[in-house]
Structure 1
Amino acid sequence: MTAHRNFKQRVRARAAKTGESYTSALRHFRPTPTGEDMPETLRIAVAQTTVHEDPTNPTLLRQSGTEVRRLMREAAAAGARLVHFTEGAICFPSKRVMSSLGPDEVGPSDWTKADWTVLQDEVDQIVALSRELRIWTVLPTVHQLPDARPHNSMYVVSDQGKLVARYDERMLSTTKVTWMYTPGRDPVTFEVDGYRFGLALGLDVIFPEVFTEYDRLGTDGVLVSYCSNGVNRNEHIGIQARGIAAINTSWISLAVPANPGAGLDAGVINPRGEWAVQGPSDNTPAVVVTDVDRADISETGRSFRQRTRERVGS
Structure 2
Amino acid sequence: MTQNGNLKRRVRARAAKTGESYTAALQHVRQPSDAPAIRSIRMAVAQTSLFNDPRDIAALHTSGAEMRRLMHEAHTAGARLLHFPEGTTCWPHKRIMSETSPGEIGPSDWTRFEWGALHKELEATRRLASELRLWTIFGSVHQLTSPHRPHNSLYVLSDRGELVTRYDERLLSNTKISFMYPPGKTPVTFEVDGVRFGCAVGMEAHYPEIFIEYEKLDVDCVLFSTAGESPSNALAFAAEVLGHAASNTYWVSYSTLAPQSTAAPSGIASPNGQWAVQCPMNGLPAIVVADIKTNPESHARPWRRKARNDLYTPHHIEGDPRSDDRNLF
DSSP-derived class of the 2:310 partner: helix
Aligned to 2:186: 186
| Structure 2 partner of 1:124 | 123
- Aligned in 2, Cα 1:176/1:69: closer, same or farther, shift over 3 Å? same
Contact 2:262-2:282 at 8 Å conserved across structures: no
Aligned to 1:69: 68
One-letter code aligned to 2:185: R
Contact 1:249 1:298 in 2 (8 A): no
Work out whether residues 153 and 167 of structure 2, in 8 Å CA contact, stay in contact via their aligned partners in 1: yes
Question: What's the offset of the Cα at 1:298?
Answer: 6.4
Compare 96-105 and 160-169 and name the one that shifted more. 96-105
Counterpart in the other structure of 2:112: 113
Q: 2:299 is paired with a residue of what secondary structure?
A: helix
In structure 2, C-alpha distance between the alignment counterparts of 1:271 and 1:298, rounded to whole Å: 13
Matching of residues 103-252 of structure 1 within 5 Å? 103-146=102-145, 147-232=147-232, 234-252=234-252
Q: 8 Å contact 1:235–1:262 — kept in the other structure? A: no
Match in the other structure for 2:290: 290
SS at match of 2:43: strand
Q: Distance in 2 between matches of 1:261 and 1:268?
A: 14
Give SS of 2:172's match: coil
Give the letter for the 1:240 counterpart.
Answer: E
**1:139-163 Cα distance to aligned partner (Å, 9 max, x none):** 1100011141110000000000100
> How much has 1:260 moved relative to structure 2?
5.3
How many Å separate the matches in 2 of 1:81 and 1:155? 16
For normalisation by structure 1, the TM-score amounts to 0.85
CA contact (8 A) 1:223 1:254 kept: yes
2:42 alignment counterpart: 43
Q: Residues 260 and 282 of structure 1 are in contact (CA less than 8 Å); yes or no, is this contact kept in structure 2?
A: no
* Matches of 1:53 and 1:284, distance apart in 2: 16
Q: Which blocks of at least 5 consecutive residues in structure 2 are unaligned?
A: 1-16, 29-37, 313-329
Do the aligned residues in 1 keep the contact of 2:154 with 2:167 (CA within 8 Å)?
A: yes
Q: Which amino acid aligns with 1:117?
A: G
Residues 69-78 or 98-107, more deviating: 98-107
User: Separation in 2 of the partners of 1:117 and 1:293?
Assistant: 40
Secondary structure of the residue that 2:291 maps to in structure 1? strand
Q: How far, CA to CA, are the matches of 1:261 and 1:279 in structure 2?
A: 8
- Once superposed, which parts of structure 1, at least 4 consecutive aligned residues long, lie more than 6 Å away? 33-36
SS in 2 for 1:239: helix
Could you state the TM-score of these two structures normalised by the residue count of structure 2? Answer: 0.81
State whether residues 230 and 260 of structure 2, in contact with CA within 8 Å, keep that contact through their aligned partners in structure 1: no
**Aligned residues of 1:80 and 1:289 also touching (Cα < 8 A):** yes
The question of whether the paired residues in 1 share the 8 Å contact of 2:231 and 2:260 is answered with no
Q: Aligned pairs, how many?
A: 280
- Is 1:90 aligned with 2:89? yes
Q: Which moved more, 1:143-152 or 1:191-200?
A: 143-152
Gaps in structure 1 of 5+ consecutive residues: 1-32
User: Which SS does the other structure have where 1:212 is aligned?
Assistant: helix
d(CA) in 1 for partners of 2:306, 2:262 = 39
1-structure distance, mates of 2:130, 2:52: 28
Cα shift at 1:299:
4.6
**What RMSD over aligned residues (CA atoms) do the two structures have, in Å?**
1.9
SS at 1:185 equivalent: coil
- For 2:261 and 2:293, the matched residues in 1 are separated by 32
Matched AA of 2:159: D
**What is the rounded CA distance, in whole Å, between the counterparts of 2:116 and 2:51 in structure 1?**
17
1:104 CA drift (Å) = 1.6
For residues 212 and 35 of structure 1, the distance between their equivalents in structure 2, rounded to whole angstroms, comes to: 30
Give percent identity, aligned residues only. 46
Distance in 2 (CA, whole Å) between partners of 1:236 and 1:262 is 14
Q: Tell me the distance in 2 between the aligned counterparts of 1:142 and 1:123.
A: 11
Deviations 1:90-144 (A, max 9, x none): 1100011111102121110010110001011111111110000000000110001
The equivalent residue for 1:258 is: 258
Contact 1:87–1:227, Cα closer than 8 Å, also in 2: yes
**Contact 2:261–2:282 (CA<8 Å) still a contact in 1?**
no
Which digits, 9 at most, give the CA deviation of each residue in 1:14-51, with x for residues without a partner?
xxxxxxxxxxxxxxxxxxx7798547421000001101
The code of the aligned residue for 1:198 comes to G
